[in-house]
Amino acid sequence: MDKLQLGQSLSGFIKKNVVMVVAMVAAIITCFFVPPDKTYLSYFDFKTLTCLFCVLAVVCALKNINFFYMLAKKIVEIFRNTRMAILALVYITFIGSMLIANDMALLTFLPLGLYVLTTTGKSKHMAFTFIMQNIAANLGGMLTPFGNPQNLYLYTKFEIPTPEFMTIMAPPFVVSVVLITLCCILFIKPEPLELSSKPISMPAVKTTVYLLLFALAIAIVFRGIHYSIGLIIIPAVLFFMDRKALKMVDYPLLLTFVFFFVFSGNMARIDAVKNLFSLLLEKSTLLFSVISCQIISNVPSAILLSQFTDNYRELLLGVNIGGVGTLIASLASLITFREYTKQNKGKTGYYIALFSAFNFAFMIILAAFVMIF
């Protein structure tokens, strides 16, 4: 490989993994202020990393046998107009984010949205549909501990009881459902829709095994089984049944967590930073966490700010609501942006404008709702 090819490959890797690269640079910079020592080992939440890996690996395996695609396609085929089909796509993404994490829900169901719109001649609705799927993924995942990566981290770090976790997140979750539904009804007309269908079959044995592995991964998240068991069983089974799934795991996302663990751990040991963040969070953990997400994204915000406050309720609400807003507020938003621009070259400006209008509207409404109620 010559220098030009190497440069192109490196540039492509950086563009595809911007958040991870930024996290790595941030971690390296903080290492100059806090030189590596034994305390670094205490930065890492190995349970969070293990849970995330297990869920992602099993989801990749299920995706490889068309499990989610078949499920979603059958639901979409029930509806015969554009409005209901797009609502179905958005709801599927919404529900999927609660079960398989927001980024995996988008990677799974955005292609389905593309397929439905292109094969039915409704590509004009692609930007709106992708944006609604993105919002649904970010806000749908807020209800469960494993729906969003930052949820899994905070749920584990603060040992939040599951009933309390869901009680905290239920009100903004319900409001999100109402807002998303209204948007789809108001902005999409019920035009006739014909969806072509192709027969899809799934191997019975693999489907059964992968669903059992998924149940195991969820049991680990809910603390029913020690995470070390999943780390042994899941990779071992997939090694023999679907090695491709292990290769497909979003390792840059896992590394992003690792780098931000280092970054946040070091920041917490710098007195000036610690005093500043503690002061700001005392004034309003909710607002500061929402604002922080717009600048450094929701996952790093959760990891960093958790070092300076015990108010996990407002922090949890803030880093979930803050996931909508700017393009960098959530890794899921960058995934959607990448998928849209890949299919619609030359429409970047239009997409960003529409994306910003809807996302900031959702953020403002949800933040105001939580503050008032």
Q: Is it the case that residue 360 has pLDDT exceeding 80?
A: yes
Q: Which SS3 state, helix, strand or coil, does residue 127 take?
A: helix
Q: What is the pLDDT averaged over residues 18-23?
A: 80
Q: What is the pLDDT averaged over residues 9-27?
A: 81
Calpha distance 314→333 (Å, rounded): 22
Calpha distance 248→48 (Å, rounded): 19
Higher pLDDT, 11 or 134: 134
- Is residue 208 very low, low, confident or very high in pLDDT (cuts 50, 70, 90)? very high
Q: What is the pLDDT averaged over residues 164-183?
A: 96
- Is residue 25 very low, low, confident or very high in pLDDT (cuts 50, 70, 90)? very high
- Residues whose CB is less than 8 angstroms from the CB of residue 51 and which lie 6 or more positions away in sequence, other chains included: 146, 152, 156, 217, 220, 221, 227, 230
pLDDT value for 1: 55
* Structure tokens that stand for 336 in this block: 């959607």
Closest CA to 245 of 53, 30, 4: 53
- Residues 252/280, Cβ–Cβ less than 8 Å: no
pLDDT value for 173: 95
Q: What is the pLDDT averaged over residues 29-54?
A: 88
pLDDT value for 125: 94
Q: At what angle do helices 102-119 and 67-77 cross, to 10 degrees?
A: 50
Task: Quote the DSSP letter at residue 40.
Answer: G
pLDDT value for 256: 82
pTM above 0.95, yes or no: no
- Residues 54/234, Cβ–Cβ less than 8 Å: yes
Calpha distance 149→97 (Å, rounded): 11
pLDDT value for 37: 93
- Residues 156/47, Cβ–Cβ less than 8 Å: yes
Neighbours of 95 (CB within 10 A): 17
pLDDT value for 187: 95
Weakest mean pLDDT among 132-146, 270-284, 344-358: 270-284
pLDDT value for 174: 96
Q: For residue range 124-150, list pLDDT tens digits in order.
A: 999 999 999 999 999 988 988 888 889
pLDDT value for 114: 85
Query: How much of the chain, in percent, has pLDDT values that exceed 90?
Result: 42
- Is residue 49 very low, low, confident or very high in pLDDT (cuts 50, 70, 90)? confident
Q: What is the pLDDT averaged over residues 230-251?
A: 93
